[in-house]
Each structure stands twice: as C-alpha cells, then as structure tokens.
Structure 1
Amino acid sequence: MEYQALYRAFRPQKFEDVVGQKHVTKTLKNAIIRNKESHAYLFSGPRGTGKTSIAKIFAKALNCNFGTDGEPCNECDICMSITEGSANDVIEIDAASNNGVDEIRNLREKVKYAPSETRYKVYIIDEVHMLTTGAFNALLKTLEEPPGHAIFILATTEPHKIPATIISRAQRFDFKSIEMREITERLKYVAESETLEYEEEAIEYIARASEGGMRDALSIMDQVIAYSNDVITLDDAIMITGGIKSEELNTWLKMIDQRDSRQAFIRYHQFIEEGKDPTRLVHELVYYIRDIILMKHEGDIDEDTAFVHTEDKMLYEMIDVLNDAMVMMRFSVNTSVHLEVVIVKLIQVLNRNDQANVPQAVDLSHIEQRLAEIDKKLADQPKDTPRTQTAEPPRKTSNQMAKGFSLRQIEKVLDHANKDDLVKLKDDWPKVYQHVEEKGYHALRSLIKDSEPVAASDTHVLLKFQSDLHSDLINKDEKKRKELEEVIPSIIGKDVKVVGVPDSSWLQVRHDYIQEKKSNRKKEGPEASITKEKKPSDVAKEIFGDDIVETR
C-alpha cells in the first residue's frame, strides 16, 4: 500500500477521535441521539481544526444503521463508503473551484431526488465563502425550504464573507484553535503508533509552530520524520520550520538589549545565510519576549537572560512592534528588510524609555537654587525694615533653614533669574543626568533623580527636589554639589552654583519673594519709576516663565 501523509492516515473517524472542539462534537452527537438534526450547519474556524473531518463523521453518524450513542460504527458498507469518498449520497463540493451560479443551480436540481442508499443526502460545501453573489442567491432558496432528506454542511475559514441571510438559515458552530497541550498529546500518540523515537522538546516545538492547527502539526511532523530518518529531534524540527534555538535567540536579543545594533545585524544576516525564515524569526521573538515576561512575574528567570532588567511596559511595546511587523510582512515581497527595521525599532524603544526616565531624575534641581535666593533676601530684609515688619521674615528663615535650604541663597538666584537660561537648562537637563551616569557618580545620580530646574541665571541654578532630604543634602554636602557643578558647564556652557529647595516649600517661597518685590516697589516710590509699570505677575513671568506663573 502506498504511503499516506500523517494528517490523512490519522484523520479522526469518530467524534471521540477529534482533538479539541468538544463543544461541537457533543452538540452533534446529542442531536443524532435525540433525532433533532437541523437541515443546515455552518462550520467556521481556522484551517486544520477539524471542520471537514467532523462534517464527514456527522454524515456517517446520520446514515449509519449500527451506530451507538451518536457515533458511527465505521464497519458497515455505508460508513466505509463515506470514509473512502465513494458514497453517492454524500457529496463534497469545493466552492473554490465550483463557485458559479450554474453549479449551484445543478445542485438545486439534484437535491430534490431522494437518496439511493442512505437515509440522508449530505452536501458538504467546503470554502463556501468563495461562492459568487449569484451562487449564494441560488443556494438561498434551497436552504430556506430544503427537502426533508437533505442536509447541508457549509465549511469556511472566513465567515464574515458569507451573507447574513445564509448564516441565519443554518446552525453555526465556531471552531477554535486547538490547545497546544492537546496537539502535543496527539503528536505523541501518532509517534508511538508509528513506533517513532522522539524528543519531548521537539514535539512541543512542533505543536507551538502549528499555531493551533492539528493538520499543520501533523504535516510538520511528517517533514521532520522524512528529514531525520524516523527520529524526531528538536534540531531537526527547528531546521524544517526555519526557526531558531532558544539559546541562540537569547544571545541575539542580548545584543539588542545592549543596544549593539552592528552585532545584532551581523548575527541576523548569519541566520538568513543559514536559511532561517524571517517570518518565523518574528514569531519566535514574540514567543520569547512573552516567556521573559511570564518568567519575570513568576520570579523564575536567570540573570543571563535578555531583558531581565527591562521594564514590562517596554517589553509590551516591543511586542507591539513585532506584531506590526508581522502584519506588514504578509504583504511584502522582501520580508528580510522588515526584520532589519524591527531590530532598529526595538533598540529605539529601549533608548526612548531610557530618555523618558532621565527627566524624572532631574526634575527637582531648579527649586533649590530659587530657595537659596529667597533665603538671602529675607535674611537681608531686617536691616532696612522696621521691627514690626521684619519680625516675621527671620522666623521664616529659621524654619526654612531647618528644612534644609537658605532663603538668602535662593534670593541670589531669583534676583538675576531669567526665562532664557531656565528654558535652556530644562531642555538640556536630561543630558546632565546622562553625563552624571556616564561619569559613574552613582550616589549623585540617585540624589538628583527627582530634581527639576525651576530658576536659572548666568551664575546660579535653583533645583527643586521632591524629597526634603535630597534638597538638604545638595545644599550641605559640598562634595556632591561640586560634582554636579562640574558636570553642568560641559552641557550648558556656563559655570554655575547649585542651590536646592524642597518641593514642599517652593510655592510658598516663590509667593513670598514676589510679594516682597511688590512691596519694595511701593516703598521706593518715584525712584522705582523704571520698573513701576511692571505688574508683579510680569516680573514673576520673567523669572519663572509663562508656563509656571498663573495670574488670578
């Protein structure tokens, strides 16, 4: 006897042989047991999930005279003829090649004749979505008022292309992709039935590569058997599918994780020279990154694994990039180019997230500088103002010094602060953070992580810190302050002194400084004619910028 492909040799002949689709097989068996068969059925779902196989089993179960519990016997003449495809009363039609209105009209003419050997005439129309509009219209009347001896089974992978008038006249069963565990068990059964040696990893790899299709899994297994001389190994399965070993994949992804685009490109082209399929590689990347996410959440991940320290949100974004690439590769002639672009995009995702973290580390630096200037002004104020007016500022100064900043130093910054210097510093602050990281100032990096420039002049920078402790440290720790003051000129081109202010005090300090400016102008009278026409809000905007000051 000539050799039969595995997917044909192990095609299920009973409902209980079907892998997955229990919701379909149980319903059909119960319908047969209770004699509640419908005149039309619609089987829809992915390829290789058992639509045509179940249609044939259903045809046998309907017509078998010796069946039990809704199952065919597979031994009588009717069952055997349907299995062999020679039964006159079970008609299979391929709608892909017989999709015209004439073929359906011919079917309508013949359907009215009673079956010659069986109880029911069963019409199995495969890929029914390929029928033309005229053919669907011709089929519609037959489905609406079919003869009692006819049953139609329509199978399709694209149910959205079928008119709603057809769908509404049939019982619809949606077939699902078969679970990997079920495919693995079936492949092991087939291998043992054929007395084949196999590796567990190879069977699992084939099951995953089939993407939920039992027929695809058996076809891949058939290829591996032919290639490997009746021994199913993981290496051979990877070779046949054009995939890649997990160890090699991890090494490749580590190059991307290290932002080494040159080595990543070289390794990728080596894969292509070895005959790897770019589309398969993208699938492997998606599965591998998914596995990394799962292992990280389970706490079962090796430090040598790629992206072990990468945030989950970055991994999700990388999967989105790969999914977009898979869609584009379906319609592309040169799929290899798409994967080259994917390498660049993955590195860009990592770089973009690195830069996004930099501003958060630098957001609180400007506040300290402004607080130092305000501290100075409030400390100087008692010399020129009456006791009743100066009694409060000294108390504020002592309170604020206890919080880790000097109003006098903050006032030095604010007296000469301008918007241009502040905007430039804000724009270049991520570079300052990056430069600190490159110099290896790890303690300083942690210190300015939550800092932000809030005022700047030619000589001073006021940094706002979310933490009062960090503000206190930058003001009192001369070593850390000097390190930061050494880094800033290389980025913004100016030698500046750094002053810190905590976020919890910054708004009050800024408000007091503006009010003090306003009251000083009133006291100066005619001598302040040059600046008299300026409103306090205008002065504040000049110092802090329009985006910070709100006029009420």
Structure 2
Amino acid sequence: MEYQALYRAFRPQTFQDVVGQKHVTKTLRNAIIRDKESHAYLFNGPRGTGKTSIAKIFAKALNCRFGSEGEPCNECDICMSITDGSANDVIEIDAASNNGVDEIRNIREKVKYAPSEARYKVYIIDEVHMLTTGAFNALLKTLEEPPGHAIFILATTEPHKIPATIISRCQRFDFKAIEINEIIGRLKYVADSESLEYEDDAIEYIARTSEGGMRDALSIMDQVIAYSNDYITVDDAVMITGGIKSEELNDWLRLIEQKDSREAFITYHRFIDEGKDPTRLIHELVYYIRDIILMKHSGEADEDVAFYHTEDKVLYEMIDVLNDAMVMMRFSVNTSVHLEVVIVKLVQVLNRNDQAAGTQNVDLSHIEQKLKELERRLANQPQTNAAPVQEKKQMRNAPSKGFSLRQIEKVLDHANKEDLVKLKDDWPKVYQHVEEKGYHSLRSLIKDSEPVAASDTHVLLKFQNDLHSDLINKDEKKREELETLIPSIIEKEVKVVGVPDSSWLQVRHDYIQEKKANKEKKESSNEKKPSDVAKEIFGNDIVETRS
C-alpha cells in the first residue's frame, strides 16, 4: 500500500477522535440521538481545525444503521463508502472550483430525488464563500424549501463573505483554533502509533508553529520525519520551519538588551543569509518575549535569560513595537527593512526607560524652588509682546522627527519652479529605472514619494510613510543609490532630502512666514511679496499665507 500523509492517515473517523471542538461534536451527537437534525449547517473556523472531517463524521452518523450514542460504527457498507468517498448520497463539492450558477442549479435539480441507499442525502460544500452572487441566490431557494431527505453542510474560513440570508437559514458552528496542549497530545499519539522516537521540545515547537491548526501540525511533523529519518528533534523542526532555536533567540535578544546594535544587526543578517523568513522571525520574537514575562512571574527565569532585570512595562512596550511591525510587514514589499528598524526601536525603548529611571533618581527639589521664584517674579512684571521672529526661530530649532529643518531650508532657499516641474514630469522614469536596476528595497522605499521642491543642487521628496522619510535621511547607502540614478534621468547631480507628508504643510507654512517676516524688515520698493516667493518655489498652485 502506498504511503499516506499523516493528516490523511490519522483523520478522525468518530466524534470522539476529534481534537479541540467539543462544543461542536457534543451538539451534533445530541441532535442525532434526539432526532432533531437541522436541514442546513454552517461550519466556520480557521484552516485545519476539523470542519470537513466533522462534516463527514456527521454524514456517517446520520446514515449509519448500527451506530450508537450518535457515533457511526465505521464498519457497515454506508460508513465505509462515505469514508472512501464512493457514497452516492454524500456529495462533496469544492466551491472554489465549482462556484457558478450552473453547478448550484444542478444540485437543485437532483436534490429532490430520494437517496438511493442512505437515509439522508448530505451535500458538503467546502469553501462556500467562493460562490458567486448568482450561485448564492440559486442556493438560497433550496435552503428555503429543502426536501426532508436533504441536509446541507457549508464550510468556510471567511463567513463575512457569505450573504446574511444564507447564514440565517443555517445552524452556525464557530470552530476555534485548537489549544497547544491538545495538539501536543495528538502529535505524541501519532508518533507512538507510528513507533517514532521524538524529543518533547520538538513536539512542543511543532505544535506552537502550527498556530492552532491540527492539519498544519501533522504536515510539519510529516516533513520533519522525512528529513530526520524517523527521529524527531527540535533542531530538525527548526530547520524545516525556518525558525530559530530558543538559545539563539535568547543570545540575539541579549545583544539588544546590551544595546549592541551593530552585533544585533550582524546576527540578524546571518539569520537572513541562512534563509530565515523575517515574518517568521518577528513572530518568534513576540512569543519569546511573552515567554520571558511568564517565566519571570513563575520563578523559572534565571540570570541567563534575556531581559531578566527589565521591568514588565518595558517588555509590554517592546511587544507593542513588534505587533506594529507585523502589521506593516503584512503590506510591505521589503519585509527585511522593517525588522532592521525594529532592532533600533527596541534599543530606543530600553534607552527611554534608562533615562526615565535616571531622572527619578535625581533630586529636583532645589530646581523646583527656583522655578517657583521665577514664576512669582514674572507675575509681578508688566506683560510685553514677544518678538514673533524669535518664537519662530525657537519653533524651527525644536527637535523634529525623521527630518532636518536645516536641510529642508537649504533646498527651499534655492528652489525654483522649472526644476520642480521637470523633476515631477520625469519622476516616474526614476522609479522605473530603480526597478530595472533591481534595487528592490529602494523601490519599496520611494514608491510613495513625490518631489515637492527642487533646485540645481538639491531635491526635496515628500513621503506618505514617515518611516520611509526617516530612512532616506539616515540611510546613507540608500540615499546614495537614489542620488546616483537621478542624474541619468534629469541630467543633474542633486542631493536628496526627505520630509514626511504629515509635517510638510506645516514646514512649508513656517518657511513662508519666516520669509515674510524678513521681507517686512526691508524697506525697498522692489520687495517681493511672500506669495511671490511661494510661487517661485512651489509653482502656481494655491498657496495660503497667514499673518
């Protein structure tokens, strides 16, 4: 007999064999025992949690002549034919490939005929959310007035795509992700049944990697067995899944704890060179920091564990940083860049905590007394109008995030309309040239950029993503790559400066206001208006100047 994959060989054949869905199996068994079956069911839940398996078990239990307590016997002709898929009265349909109106009309025409051998005709429609609107409408009529001998079981991972009119005519069962301990127990049962040796840590790692899906867990285990020659080790499991061993992960986090960014970057790029997936790595980081928190509170952690002396609130903030990065990586072309930034952000979280702790240890009582004395003296003095130019300088000299006001002003001081118009017209060519050169990380970096000012020597780019603006200003390598490509398009060698879209309007307004204040000091007759200055820099677009 040819080899069967583990998830097929150990597919549950009775309700009792099903792992982790007791709320579903108990309800269905009781319905069979009390003869209160519904005409339509909706099974919803993550992949690999037993939806189709329970549907087939339910079909067997409904039609088995020798079943007891709501369980099929799995020995009679009907049970065996349903198990091997040859039963004429149990029809499985894959809606992903049979999603048209004609397929559903065919069901409507045949459903009215009585079953040939079994008690019920059972239609199992998998991935039902893939049906077209017309197919759903055709199915709705059958669900409204079904014949007494027909039962429909609809399975899906995306119930929000199913019309409410269909859902309201079904008994809905929400399948949950299977708990890790239940997956571990099932994997050990499978390994013992197959006479396989294993490490407990390897079974636990496979269960955690499956993320609540039993089918995924068995598939990973099958792959590890093939690789490790019937002995399941944690090293082989890590190798197959592209993860990292806990020891290596702990050493990596120790580098971050010590704020050794250089070595942390080197270690990270070694992981990437070994073929590790950045998305998988960031998941591993979240789980490991979670484990550190649990070990600290349970007393299992020791001095060798990373962040042993770090406060929980700091670890919570680090998890928030990782979760935000996971969301951004889901929609990013270059996921590796995000994880590089995460390393820097984690170090910054630690630095902020150290600074806050240092501030708490300093006695500031004498400074507070001096401030109160100054406030008292100022209250007794007459009010004077502060110079607007000085206020503007203070605001301009305030620390900014992700960009340099001095660099932006250097561009705006010499900016002109002609260079800006030419650069805007040719900017798609720059992006196309980056793609042709194969600079994938640079392509994802400038895909949301737009020139907003230009001169003979500088270009100011506006970025929709604040992170991209920060990277183009701080990453000298990426900036030089872009500066090398631009002359081949616009025939000018320029320096690139980035500004985030969220700050650009305020920066432009402040610059125009400052120019206006400086112009008002001059009493020449040929003085230009601030609006003329703005038009020279930004073109004839509407520019509002406020006093």
Relative distance call for 1:144 and 1:413 in structure 2 (3 A) is closer
Partner of 1:167: 167
Relative distance call for 1:286 and 1:81 in structure 2 (3 A) is same
Cα distance in structure 2, aligned partners of 1:156 and 1:411: 71
Deviations 1:54-90 (CA, angstroms, capped at 9, x unpaired)? 0000000000111111110111111111000111111
Asked if 2 retains the 8 angstrom alpha-carbon contact of 1:196 and 1:230, the reply is yes
Matched AA of 1:123: Y
Cα distance in structure 2, aligned partners of 1:35 and 1:339: 56
Partner of 2:197: 197
Query: Where do residues 306-345 of structure 1 align in structure 2 (5 Å cutoff)?
Result: 306-345=306-345
Deviations 1:290-323 (CA, angstroms, capped at 9, x unpaired)? 0111122223321222112222222112112212
Q: CA deviation at 1:337?
A: 2.1
Matched AA of 2:62: L
Deviations 1:361-385 (CA, angstroms, capped at 9, x unpaired)? 45434135479x89xxxxxxxxxxx
Query: Where do residues 335-374 of structure 1 align in structure 2 (5 Å cutoff)?
Result: 335-362=335-362, 363-369=364-370
- The answer on 1:85 being equivalent to 2:85 is yes
Cα distance in structure 1, aligned partners of 2:180 and 2:256: 30
Partner of 1:110: 110
Matched AA of 2:236: D
Matched AA of 2:165: T
Q: Matched residue of 1:47: which SS?
A: coil
Aligned CA-pair RMSD: 2.8
Q: CA deviation at 1:245?
A: 1.1
Asked if 2 retains the 8 angstrom alpha-carbon contact of 1:286 and 1:322, the reply is yes
Query: Where do residues 392-407 of structure 1 align in structure 2 (5 Å cutoff)?
Result: none
Asked if 2 retains the 8 angstrom alpha-carbon contact of 1:89 and 1:116, the reply is yes
Matched AA of 1:187: L
**Structure 2 residues not aligned, in runs of 5+:** 392-547
Cα distance in structure 2, aligned partners of 1:327 and 1:247: 27
Q: Matched residue of 1:349: which SS?
A: helix
Q: CA deviation at 1:332?
A: 3.0
Q: Matched residue of 2:88: which SS?
A: coil
Q: CA deviation at 1:117?
A: 1.1
Structure showing greater Rg: 1
Matched AA of 1:227: Y
Partner of 1:392: none
Cα distance in structure 1, aligned partners of 2:368 and 2:356: 21
Cα distance in structure 1, aligned partners of 2:68 and 2:315: 53
TM-score under structure 1 length normalisation: 0.66
Q: CA deviation at 1:127?
A: 0.7
Relative distance call for 1:22 and 1:357 in structure 2 (3 A) is same
Partner of 1:294: 294
Partner of 1:120: 120
Relative distance call for 1:93 and 1:361 in structure 2 (3 A) is same
Cα distance in structure 2, aligned partners of 1:334 and 1:4: 38
Partner of 2:38: 38
Relative distance call for 1:413 and 1:153 in structure 2 (3 A) is closer
Q: Matched residue of 1:366: which SS?
A: helix
Q: CA deviation at 1:412?
A: 12
Cα distance in structure 1, aligned partners of 2:306 and 2:284: 14
Q: Which consecutive aligned stretches of 4+ in structure 1 deviate over 6 angstroms post-superposition?
A: 410-416
Relative distance call for 1:285 and 1:412 in structure 2 (3 A) is same
- The answer on 1:178 being equivalent to 2:183 is no
Q: CA deviation at 1:415?
A: 12
Q: Matched residue of 2:300: which SS?
A: coil
Matched AA of 1:196: L
Q: CA deviation at 1:259?
A: 1.5
Asked if 2 retains the 8 angstrom alpha-carbon contact of 1:46 and 1:157, the reply is yes
Query: Where do residues 275-294 of structure 1 align in structure 2 (5 Å cutoff)?
Result: 275-294=275-294
**Structure 1 residues not aligned, in runs of 5+:** 375-409, 424-552
Cα distance in structure 2, aligned partners of 1:52 and 1:201: 30
Relative distance call for 1:62 and 1:412 in structure 2 (3 A) is closer
Cα distance in structure 2, aligned partners of 1:259 and 1:148: 70
Q: CA deviation at 1:19?
A: 0.6
Cα distance in structure 2, aligned partners of 1:98 and 1:161: 17
TM-score under structure 2 length normalisation: 0.67
Cα distance in structure 2, aligned partners of 1:4 and 1:94: 22
Matched AA of 2:105: R
Matched AA of 1:314: V
- The answer on 1:63 being equivalent to 2:63 is yes
Stretch of structure 1 that moved more, 13-22 or 289-298: 289-298
Stretch of structure 1 that moved more, 345-354 or 9-18: 345-354
Asked if 2 retains the 8 angstrom alpha-carbon contact of 1:370 and 1:413, the reply is no
Q: CA deviation at 1:96?
A: 0.8
Cα distance in structure 2, aligned partners of 1:6 and 1:370: 74
User: Sequence identity, in percent?
Assistant: 83
Give the length in aligned residue pairs.
Answer: 387
Cα distance in structure 2, aligned partners of 1:300 and 1:414: 58
Partner of 1:23: 23
Asked if 2 retains the 8 angstrom alpha-carbon contact of 1:369 and 1:413, the reply is no
Relative distance call for 1:414 and 1:121 in structure 2 (3 A) is closer
Q: CA deviation at 1:104?
A: 1.0
